[in-house]
């Protein structure tokens, strides 16, 4: 079971000087890698001047909606997608496209992400002996965004995120129609029959957001291919591995993709 740090590791141990990393920052991505995470999940948005930046919420406190401001107006701690990917070289990166129909009806963000990722190494979750999983996958709750990515950059693998209120089996059928590599259901939607159905479809199962010890153990036992988690050390323990720096299996409990 692969372990992906949810928005990086903001709860997986202090940085030098005793400070904690802020989510979706270069510090958080570096902290995840130090702990031994296989990769990270991050969120991408588009500024008014077309820059791709990494931030979960649509607005930056004290600045306003990201879609309405230029890159130069954002705080220095908000990285560009290129900066984030560079910091994660050699790891798995799940790039979530944050589509909002009212802001981006033409899905320009998805098209820009496809252009930015074209030619980059695709997600390699099952490498040969002695190799480390690495590469990039694009995920979204919006099927239209994934369709745009596949049309513009067919070599980039995609994963359909499933809202926790949706029917995961219906989402699996939609993911198959889209040609997705993976299905990303919420942890409460996952059972043995869903795992089996996803694998029969030739797809991987990446589960969000898995934080409770019991849920981490259950996902490992069920054969989930990856968990997206705020608790990297606990997830590694559930997968039968140890964090690289000996960090205790504690962490934050941020909920949401």
Beta bridge partners of 135: 92
Distance separating alpha carbons of residues 95 and 40, to the nearest angstrom: 9
Q: Which helix (H) or strand (E) holds 206?
A: strand 204-207
Distance separating alpha carbons of residues 24 and 99, to the nearest angstrom: 17
Segment among 9-23, 122-136, 141-155, 195-209 with least mean pLDDT: 9-23
Is residue 76 a part of any domain in this protein? yes
- Is it the case that residue 18 has pLDDT exceeding 70? no
**Coil/strand/helix, residue 200:** helix
Given this model, what pLDDT does residue 131 score? 73
Distance separating alpha carbons of residues 33 and 29, to the nearest angstrom: 6
Confidence tier at 15 by pLDDT (50, 70, 90) = low
Is residue 60 a part of any domain in this protein? yes
Span 43-48, mean pLDDT?
A: 98
Is residue 143 a part of any domain in this protein? yes
What's the pLDDT tens digit per position in 120-155?
998 988 777 777 889 999 999 999 999 999 999 999
Structure-derived torsion over alpha carbons of residues 81, 30, 25, 108, reported in degrees to the nearest 10: 20
Span 9-22, mean pLDDT?
A: 66
Given this model, what pLDDT does residue 250 score? 44
Q: What is the mean pLDDT of the chain?
A: 92
Confidence tier at 249 by pLDDT (50, 70, 90) = very low
Is residue 248 a part of any domain in this protein? no
What's the pLDDT tens digit per position in 55-93?
999 999 999 999 999 999 999 999 999 999 999 999 999
User: pTM (2 decimals)?
Assistant: 0.93
User: Which residues span the domain enclosing 15?
Assistant: 2-238
Domains in the chain, number: 1
- Is it the case that residue 17 has pLDDT exceeding 90? no
Is residue 165 a part of any domain in this protein? yes
Given this model, what pLDDT does residue 8 score? 96
- Is it the case that residue 39 has pLDDT exceeding 70? yes
- Is it the case that residue 247 has pLDDT exceeding 60? no
* 168, 182 Cβ separation under 8 angstroms: no
Distance separating alpha carbons of residues 12 and 234, to the nearest angstrom: 10
Q: Which of 157, 113, 114 is nearest to 136 (CA)?
A: 157
Is residue 246 a part of any domain in this protein? no
Give 119: exposed, middle or buried? Use CB within 10 Å, 0-12, 13-18, 19+. Answer: exposed
Task: Return the percentage of the chain with pLDDT > 70, whole number.
Answer: 91
pLDDT greater at residue 163 or residue 256:
163
Span 194-217, mean pLDDT?
A: 98
Given this model, what pLDDT does residue 11 score? 59
Is residue 95 a part of any domain in this protein? yes
CATH no. for residue 153? 3.20.20.190
Given this model, what pLDDT does residue 34 score? 92
């Amino acid at each position: 079971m692969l372990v992906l740090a949810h928005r990086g590791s903001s709860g997986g141990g202090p940085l030098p000087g005793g400070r904690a990393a802020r989510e979706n920052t270069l510090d958080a991505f570096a902290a995840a890698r130090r702990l031994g995470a296989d990769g990270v999940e991050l969120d991408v948005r588009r500024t008014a001047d077309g820059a791709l930046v990494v931030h979960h919420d649509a607005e930056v406190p004290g600045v306003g909606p990201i879609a309405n401001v230029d890159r130069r107006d954002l705080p220095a701690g908000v990285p560009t997608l290129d900066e984030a990917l560079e910091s994660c070289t050699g790891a798995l990166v799940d790039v979530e496209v944050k589509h909002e129909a009212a802001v981006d009806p033409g899905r320009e963000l998805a098209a820009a992400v496809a252009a930015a990722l074209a030619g980059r190494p695709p997600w390699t979750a099952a490498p040969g002996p002695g190799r480390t999983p690495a590469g990039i996958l694009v995920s979204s709750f919006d099927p239209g965004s994934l369709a745009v990515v596949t049309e513009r950059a067919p070599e980039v693998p995609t994963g359909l995120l499933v809202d926790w209120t949706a029917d995961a089996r219906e989402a699996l059928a939609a993911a198959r129609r889209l040609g997705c590599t993976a299905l990303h259901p919420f942890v409460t939607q996952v059972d043995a029959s869903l795992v089996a159905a996803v694998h029969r479809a030739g797809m991987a199962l990446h589960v969000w957001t898995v934080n409770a010890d019991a849920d981490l153990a259950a996902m490992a036992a069920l054969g989930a291919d990856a968990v997206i988690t705020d608790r990297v050390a606990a997830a590694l323990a559930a997968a039968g591995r140890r964090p690289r720096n000996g960090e205790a299996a504690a962490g934050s409990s941020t909920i949401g993709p």
